[in-house]
């Protein structure tokens, strides 16, 4: 049996990896976006395309993850991805060439997939093999902490540093996170047994269940990406809220950090599909509050709802992947993320186009809320499919019980 210290070090490696690949390599772009538009001449439409290119890299990484079965190769690519996260962050500060920025965002997306999918899969595999609870709430707190950290850092550093110097500061933060992300994650164990001798057996869901879940996850990806990418710029342009966007982004991270642990708790009592449905409804409210009610209190309330739900959705879906495929969780994670990643390419590009056409990013929030509503309907259908499957399983057991 492993010690509690070993478990905590593995979870800490995961938290640091997510803070690096998402908090530094990915989400630092969001609070720095207004600064780059003001100081580096980054246009509105170009900002949207850079975000879309980032998700193209993420989608490419998800495709790779879905095709790999070898744990040792996954571990190697995960470690390469951690280094790429630091290098892609450095490139943002080394140039003002939009083409090189696009290269940076693409490789940052690849590194995000390495942390979110390969790293999460490796950690989930380790937890199950060592007979720990296979919930990922603690691990995914790294995403919320990354958002809080980068938002707070930008708010603080903007008083003294320009956009380029802040990117270099993030390189330093990333280098510090790299040490535990690489050093505390053990080499993978390829045996088919847990440490107590139980066999790990895959129990895949039905093809219909998977299709509905992927479609709902696509909708969740649209709902997530618009706010995650543009919320700072959106809030800064709302009446009376100039300069408050970073505070709102900070609130998103503050809500996201403990949210996954809470959603693990909710799912244990309501079931994962019901928990996903509740998260979707609350996220729709969070998306719409800043533009429908207005004012800083509504923007902060929306940020708390959004931050408290989007990462819960990701955590629940990826935990489901581990439950269905304990021997190869990253394979289903990769497939699910292809749907989520496709949404993250489409969402920023469409939002950037809408903003250029209408002169406001707010139209993108209405689009995101509408797509999320469609996703909630898909989750209702998924609940019906799951209930039918449970009924069929009970019917199949009745003859055995009677005999």
Asked if residue 19 has pLDDT above 90, the reply is: yes
| pLDDT number for residue 400 | 44
| pLDDT number for residue 31 | 84
Residue 401 pLDDT level (bands cut at 50, 70, 90)? very low
Give whichever of 28-32, 248-252, 331-335 has the largest mean pLDDT. Answer: 28-32
More confident residue, 377 or 328: 377
| pLDDT number for residue 184 | 94
| pLDDT number for residue 348 | 76
Model confidence pLDDT, tens digit, residues 252-288: 878 887 888 889 889 989 989 999 999 999 999 998 8
Q: Residue 59, Cα to own-chain centre: how many angstroms?
A: 12
Q: How far apart are CA 55 and CA 118, in angstroms?
A: 16
| pLDDT number for residue 198 | 65
Asked if residue 197 has pLDDT above 70, the reply is: no
| pLDDT number for residue 249 | 76
More confident residue, 319 or 14: 14
Residues 6+ apart with CB under 8 A from 359: none
Residues 6+ apart with CB under 8 A from 391: none
Asked if residue 190 has pLDDT above 50, the reply is: yes
Residue whose token pair is 């958002």: 147
Q: Which residues pair with 193 in a beta bridge?
A: 199
More confident residue, 346 or 78: 78
| pLDDT number for residue 105 | 95
Determine the length of the chain. Answer: 403
Give the dihedral sign, CA 264/269/270/271: positive
What mean pLDDT do residues 298-323 have? Answer: 87
CATH class of 4-188+203-396: mainly alpha
Q: How far apart are CA 373 and CA 369, in angstroms?
A: 6
Asked if residue 21 has pLDDT above 90, the reply is: yes
Give whichever of 98-112, 224-238, 300-314 has the largest mean pLDDT. Answer: 98-112
State what percent of residues in the chain have pLDDT above 90: 30
| pLDDT number for residue 205 | 80
10 Å Cβ neighbour count for 170? 27
By C-alpha distance, which of 268, 283, 278 is closest to 135? 268
What is the signed CA dihedral for 99, 46, 92, 334, rounded to 10 degrees?
-90
More confident residue, 18 or 293: 18
DSSP conformation letters of 222-267: HHHHHHHHHHHHHHHTSTT-TT-HHHHHHHHHHHHHHHHHHHHHHH
Model confidence pLDDT, tens digit, residues 121-174: 888 888 877 777 666 778 888 887 887 888 889 889 988 999 999 999 999 999
On the 0-12 / 13-18 / 19+ scale of CB atoms within 10 A, 33 is buried
Asked if residue 218 has pLDDT above 50, the reply is: yes
Cα dist. 138→117, 127, 145, 147, 311 in Å? Answer: 16, 12, 11, 15, 12
10 Å Cβ neighbour count for 62? 28
More confident residue, 342 or 371: 371
Residue ranges per structural domain of the chain: 4-188+203-396
Q: Residue 315, Cα to own-chain centre: how many angstroms?
A: 8
Average of per-residue pLDDT values in the chain: 84
Asked if residue 238 has pLDDT above 90, the reply is: no
What mean pLDDT do residues 223-243 have? Answer: 77
More confident residue, 312 or 341: 312
What mean pLDDT do residues 306-319 have? Answer: 88
Instruction: Please give the structure tokens belonging to residue 93.
Output: 């500060």
| pLDDT number for residue 305 | 92
Instruction: Please give the structure tokens belonging to residue 373.
Output: 């509503």
Asked if residue 306 has pLDDT above 70, the reply is: yes
Q: How far apart are CA 114 and CA 85, in angstroms?
A: 9
Model confidence pLDDT, tens digit, residues 41-52: 888 788 878 887
Residue 394 pLDDT level (bands cut at 50, 70, 90)? very low
What is the signed CA dihedral for 212, 218, 224, 227, rounded to 10 degrees?
-130
Asked if residue 187 has pLDDT above 60, the reply is: yes
Asked if residue 202 has pLDDT above 80, the reply is: no
| pLDDT number for residue 40 | 84
| pLDDT number for residue 220 | 93
Report pTM. 0.79
Q: Which residues pair with 199 in a beta bridge?
A: 193
Model confidence pLDDT, tens digit, residues 89-132: 999 999 988 899 999 999 999 999 899 889 988 888 888 777 77
């Amino acid at each position: 049996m492993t010690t509690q210290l070993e478990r905590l070090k593995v979870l800490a490696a995961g938290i640091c990896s997510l803070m690096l690949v998402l908090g530094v390599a990915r989400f630092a772009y969001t609070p720095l976006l207004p600064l780059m538009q003001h100081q580096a001449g980054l246009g509105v439409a170009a900002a949207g395309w850079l975000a879309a290119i980032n998700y193209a890299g993420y989608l490419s990484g998800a495709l790779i993850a879905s095709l790999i079965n070898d744990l040792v190769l996954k571990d190697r690519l995960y470690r390469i991805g951690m280094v790429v996260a630091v290098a892609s962050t450095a490139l943002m500060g080394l140039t003002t060439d939009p083409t090189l920025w696009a290269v940076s965002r693409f490789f940052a997306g690849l590194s995000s997939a390495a942390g979110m999918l390969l790293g999460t899969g490796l950690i989930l595999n380790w937890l199950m093999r060592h007979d720990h609870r296979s919930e990922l709430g603690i691990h995914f707190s790294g995403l919320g902490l990354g958002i809080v950290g980068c938002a707070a850092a930008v708010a603080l550093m903007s008083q003294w540093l320009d956009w380029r110097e802040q990117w270099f500061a993030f390189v330093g933060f990333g280098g510090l996170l790299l040490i535990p992300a690489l050093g505390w994650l053990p080499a993978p164990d390829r045996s088919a047994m847990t440490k107590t001798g139980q066999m790990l057996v895959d129990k895949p869901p039905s093809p219909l269940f998977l299709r509905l879940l992927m479609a709902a996850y696509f909708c969740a990806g649209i709902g997530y990406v618009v706010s995650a990418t543009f919320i700072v710029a959106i809030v800064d342009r709302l009446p009376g809220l100039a300069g408050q966007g970073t505070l709102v982004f900070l609130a998103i991270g503050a809500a996201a950090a403990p949210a996954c642990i809470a959603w693990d708790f909710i799912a244990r009592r309501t079931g994962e599909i019901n928990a996903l449905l509740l998260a979707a409804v609350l996220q729709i409210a969070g998306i719409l509050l800043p533009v429908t009610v207005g004012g800083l209190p509504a923007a902060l309330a929306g940020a708390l709802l959004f931050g408290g739900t989007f990462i819960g959705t990701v955590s629940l879906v990826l935990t489901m992947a581990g439950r269905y495929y304990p021997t190869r969780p990253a394979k289903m994670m990769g497939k699910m993320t292809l749907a989520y990643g496709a949404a993250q390419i489409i969402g920023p590009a469409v939002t950037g186009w809408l903003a250029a056409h209408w002169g406001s990013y707010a139209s993108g929030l209405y689009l995101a809320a509408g797509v999320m509503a469609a996703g909630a309907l898909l989750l209702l259908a998924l609940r019906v499919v799951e209930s039918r499957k449970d009924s069929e399983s009970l019917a199949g057991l009745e003859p055995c019980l009677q005999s």
